[in-house]
Structure 1
Amino acid sequence: MPSFLRGAWLAVSGMARREGERCAAQYLREGSFPAPRELSAVPPGEVVVVHEVADFQRERPAWRLYLLSNVLEGLCEALDWRNAFQVSDLYEAFRRETPWGALHAAVAQEAPRSTERTALRLRSVLRFWEPLQSARYLYKTLGAVLTLEGLLEASHDWALQAWCPMEDGPLRTRLEMAAERMAHATREDSEAVLAREMPRALPHAKGLKHRSRLADPSFVRQRVAALDPASFERMSGACTSDLLETLYDWDRELEAS
Structure 2
Amino acid sequence: MDPGQSSSLQLPSFLHGTFRSVQQKTKREGLRCGEQYRAGGTFPAPRQMLDVPAGEVVVAHGVVDFQHERPTWRLYMVSDVMSGLSDALDGQNVFPARDAYEAFFRETAWGALYFAVSPDAPRSVERTVLRLRAVLRFWEQLQSVRYLFKTLGVAHSLEELMGASCGWAMDAWCPGGEASVRLRLDAAAERMGRATRAECIEAIFRQMPLALAHAGKLNHRDVVADPSFQRERLNTLDPWSFERVSGACPSDLIWLLHNWDYELGQQ
TM-score by length of 1: 0.97
Q: Paired residue for 1:213, among 223, 226, 249?
A: 223
Post-superposition CA distance 1:88-114 (Å, at most 9, x none): 000001110110111001111543210
Deviating more after overlay: 40-49 vs 211-220: 211-220
Distance 1:47 1:220, change over 3 A: same
Aligned position for 2:260: 250
2:150 match: secondary structure: coil
Q: Does 1:143 align with 2:148?
A: no
User: Residue in 2 aligned with 1:100?
Assistant: 110
Could you tell me which amino acid in structure 1 is paired with residue 106 of structure 2? R
| Residue 15 of structure 2 is aligned to residue 5 of structure 1 | yes
Aligned match of 1:199:
209
Partner of 1:49 in structure 2? 59
SS, match of residue 244 in structure 1: helix
Q: How far is 1:248 from its partner?
A: 1.1
**Aligned match of 1:123:** 133
* Contact 2:37-2:97 within 8 A present in 1 as well: no
User: Counterpart amino acid of 1:252?
Assistant: Y
Rounded Cα–Cα distance in structure 2 between residues aligned with 1:16 and 1:101: 14
Question: Any unmatched runs of 5+ in structure 2?
Answer: 1-10
Q: Matched residues, percent identical?
A: 57
The corresponding residue for 2:24 is 14
Pick from 161, 170, 195 the counterpart of residue 160 of structure 1.
Answer: 170
CA distance in 1, matches of 2:201, 2:216: 24
Corresponding residue for 2:79?
69
For 2:252, the aligned partner's letter is D
Structure 2 counterpart of 1:196, which letter?
R
Bigger CA drift: 21-30 or 164-173? 21-30
In the alignment, is the contact (CA less than 8 A) between 1:195 and 1:224 conserved in 2?
Answer: no
1:179 aligns with 2:184: no
- Structure 1 residues without counterparts, runs of 5 or longer: none
- 2:222 and 2:241 map into 1 onto residues whose CA distance is 23
2:46 is the alignment partner of 1:27: no
Q: Aligned residue pairs: how many?
A: 257
Deviating more after overlay: 192-201 vs 62-71: 192-201
CA distance in 1, matches of 2:75, 2:261: 37
**1:189 and 2:196 correspond:** no
- Bigger shift: residues 162-171 or 91-100: 162-171
Partner residue of 2:240? 230
SS of 2:121's partner is: coil
- TM-fit CA distance, 1:127: 0.2
Task: List 4+ stretches of structure 1 deviating above 4 A.
Answer: none
C-alpha separation in 2, matches of 1:83 and 1:167: 43
Q: Deviations over 1:21-55 (max 9, x none)?
A: 11122223332111111010000110000100010
Distance in 1 between the 2:22 and 2:209 partners? 41
| Structure 2 counterpart SS, 1:156 | helix
Q: Give, as a single letter, the amino acid of the residue that structure 2 aligns with 1:187.
A: R
1:66 touches 1:104 (CA, 8 Å); kept in 2? Answer: yes
Q: Which has the higher mean CA deviation after the structures are superposed, 122-131 or 200-209?
A: 200-209
In 2, the alpha carbon distance for the partners of 1:246 and 1:222 equals: 13
**Contact conserved, 1:7 with 1:60, CA < 8 A, in 2?**
yes
- The CA distance in 1 between the partners of 2:206 and 2:114, in whole Å, is 29
Q: Which amino acid is the alignment partner of residue 108 of structure 2?
A: T
Kept in 2: contact 1:112–1:234 (CA 8 A): yes
